């Protein structure tokens, strides 16, 4: 059985040139032609200034990835949250579907984040999500609105050789690091913390990221 990454690579690969045709190598892009990532972690939320600041803790299981068709970029993600104990927060499922374009030095994708929450109000919610990347020499500049499964309100940051740090508006930070295991596989660590309108959230995940070797771009 072919792996999901292999299927993505097969879809992203250009059509084979017919005999006698000139074959020109495609221009490099800011993102790899295909990438697949799986993460597990913990999300904790609570109210600022209360005796128990962290009142709800849930486990997180996520799958995300993208594929390029030339410059056309399809980006998707799925997040499942399951509470560790009964409380104000119930189980939820979040689907992200974004589309955009990736050039040699930049990438921009946008689309809806759809959240289905069991026992929450509202039970169904759709919000916009945007992610942007600009390469400046060896450094990648990142910006996003409701990125990372819609969990991060807005962020601005930079990364270098797989290590990134971002400011999360209005008060917070996001950090990530990719530790190479092979030429196409990396161990991925990521976390964030922010405060917003009297509440606070913290998120920590560990996972694996598999990508095609055709690009050195680093996704946040």
What is the pLDDT, as a whole number, of residue 95? Answer: 98
pLDDT band at 10 (very low <50, low <70, confident <90, very high): low
Does the pLDDT at position 195 exceed 70? Answer: yes
Hey, where are the domains in the chain?
4-9+28-211
What is the pLDDT, as a whole number, of residue 17? Answer: 39
Mean pLDDT of the 178-199 span: 94
Mean pLDDT of the 183-193 span: 96
Contacts 24+ apart (CB under 8 A), 198-201: 198/47, 198/48, 198/49, 199/45, 199/46, 199/47, 199/48, 200/45, 200/46, 200/47, 200/48, 200/53, 201/43, 201/44, 201/45, 201/151
Torsion of CA 177, 182, 184, 188, to 10 degrees: -20
**CATH entry, 4-9+28-211, from 3.40.50, 1.10.287, 2.60.40, 2.40.160:** 2.40.160
Mean pLDDT of the 92-115 span: 97
Does the pLDDT at position 13 exceed 80? Answer: no
Q: How far apart are CA 142 and CA 101, in angstroms?
A: 15
pLDDT band at 214 (very low <50, low <70, confident <90, very high): low
Q: Report pLDDT digits (tens) over 146-187.
A: 999 999 999 999 999 999 999 999 999 999 999 999 999 999
What is the number of residues in the chain?
Answer: 220
Nearest in space to 203 (alpha carbons), one of 152, 127, 143, 158: 152
Q: Report pLDDT digits (tens) over 14-61.
A: 433 344 444 455 678 999 999 999 999 999 888 776 655 566 889 999
pTM beyond 0.85: the answer is no
Does the pLDDT at position 96 exceed 50? Answer: yes
Per the DSSP assignment, residues forming a β-bridge with 111 are: 129
């Amino acid at each position: 059985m072919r792996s999901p990454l292999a299927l993505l690579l097969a879809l992203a690969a250009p059509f084979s040139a017919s005999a006698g045709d000139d074959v020109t190598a495609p221009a490099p892009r800011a993102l790899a032609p295909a990438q697949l990532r799986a993460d597990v972690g913990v999300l904790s939320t609570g109210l600022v200034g209360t005796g128990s600041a962290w009142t709800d803790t849930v486990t997180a299981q996520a799958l995300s990835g993208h594929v390029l068709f030339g410059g056309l970029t399809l980006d998707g993600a799925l997040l499942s949250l399951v509470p560790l104990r009964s409380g104000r927060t119930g189980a939820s499922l979040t689907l992200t579907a974004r589309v955009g374009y990736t050039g040699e030095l930049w990438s921009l994708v946008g689309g809806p984040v759809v959240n289905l929450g069991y026992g929450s109000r509202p039970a169904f919610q759709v919000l916009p999500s945007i992610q942007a990347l600009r390469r400046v020499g060896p450094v990648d500049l990142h910006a996003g609105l409701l990125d990372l499964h819609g969990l991060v309100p807005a962020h601005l940051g930079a990364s270098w050789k797989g290590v990134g740090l971002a400011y999360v508006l209005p008060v917070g930070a996001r950090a990530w690091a990719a530790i190479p295991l092979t030429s196409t596989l990396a161990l991925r660590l990521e976390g964030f913390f922010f405060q917003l309108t009297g509440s606070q959230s913290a998120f920590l995940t560990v996972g694996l990221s598999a990508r095609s070797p055709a690009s050195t771009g680093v996704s946040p």
